[in-house]
Copies of this chain bind each other. A is one copy, B any other.
Amino acid sequence: MAHGPRSAELRPISDRGWTVRTSHHVLTSRWLNLRSDACMTSSGSAIDPYYIVETPDFAHVLASDRGGRIVLVRQYRHGLGDLSLELPGGMVDGGETDILAVAARELREETGYVGGRMEILATLSPDPARYTNRIHFLRAYDVEPGPATPDPTEEIEVVLTSRAEALRLVWTGAIQNAPHACAILMGLRD
């Protein structure tokens, strides 16, 4: 049932959540679980099954070097079925709570860039409907080059761009990864 227009300032209506009546995993694996929930909406509609994808959180970094160049990575992404230009980063392993340390490690492993200073930029959901996970985006400044040590299954090409070029790659659609494109716009705004 639709509600009338409201101000965005109003607090969310907490009683609109779904009730989960039964739940089981269709599949569990290291990288991804698929969960099947039998749900009831707050107005009494049954939604069964509703599939949820459980994956770990990720940390990705919008890093710039001392010259202001942005550090991107290009790699094959099997969902997309094509190369994808993205922000370096990786999975937050179970139990890791120091997101800045995770981000610094993933930046170093994938690109070799280290040092500088880092701050949290945003924490976002790639798909609130299906995904349980969040992506933490960090902003790093004054990073310095060093040797990369990527995972053997990762074939990662480091791509350095100017700030203006990084923005242009988003505006033109050359960066197809929506959460990463969002972080670039958030991190490089005037």
Interface centre among A6, A123, A124, A174 (most CB of B within 10 A): A124
Contact between chains at A156 and B3 (CB < 8 Å): yes
A182 and B182 alpha carbons, distance in the complex (Å):
4
Is A85's beta carbon under 8 Å from chain B? yes
Interface residues of A, count at CB 8 A: 87
Closest Cβ neighbor of A27 among chain B residues: B26
How long is the Cα–Cα vector from A8 to B167 in the complex, in angstroms? 12
Q: Write the nearest CB–CB distance from A119 to chain B, whole angstroms.
A: 14
CA–CA, A148 to B31, complex, Å? 40
Alpha-carbon distance A135/B177, docked complex (angstroms) = 11
Min CB gap A117→B, angstroms: 21
Known: A78-B52, A170-B186, A174-B8. A43 touches B155 (CB 8 A): yes
- Chain B: which residue is nearest A72 at the CB level? B8
Answer whether A79 and B178 are a contact pair too, CB < 8 Å, given A2-B111, A157-B6.
no
Does A74 sit at the interface, judged by CB under 8 A? yes
Q: Which residue from B7, B29, B126 sits with its C-beta under 8 Å from A179?
A: B126
Point out residues on A near B: beta carbons under 8 Å.
1-8, 12-13, 16-18, 26-27, 29, 31-32, 34, 37, 39, 41-43, 45, 47, 49-53, 55, 72, 74-86, 110-112, 122-132, 135, 148, 150, 152-153, 155-161, 165, 169-171, 173-174, 176-179, 181-183, 185-186
Residue pairs across A and B with Cβ atoms less than 8 A apart, 28 shown, are A2-B110, A2-B112, A8-B174, A12-B83, A13-B157, A17-B76, A18-B76, A32-B51, A32-B130, A41-B155, A42-B76, A43-B152, A45-B153, A47-B153, A52-B78, A53-B53, A53-B130, A77-B128, A80-B128, A84-B128, A86-B128, A122-B173, A124-B181, A125-B178, A126-B126, A127-B131, A170-B186, A185-B185
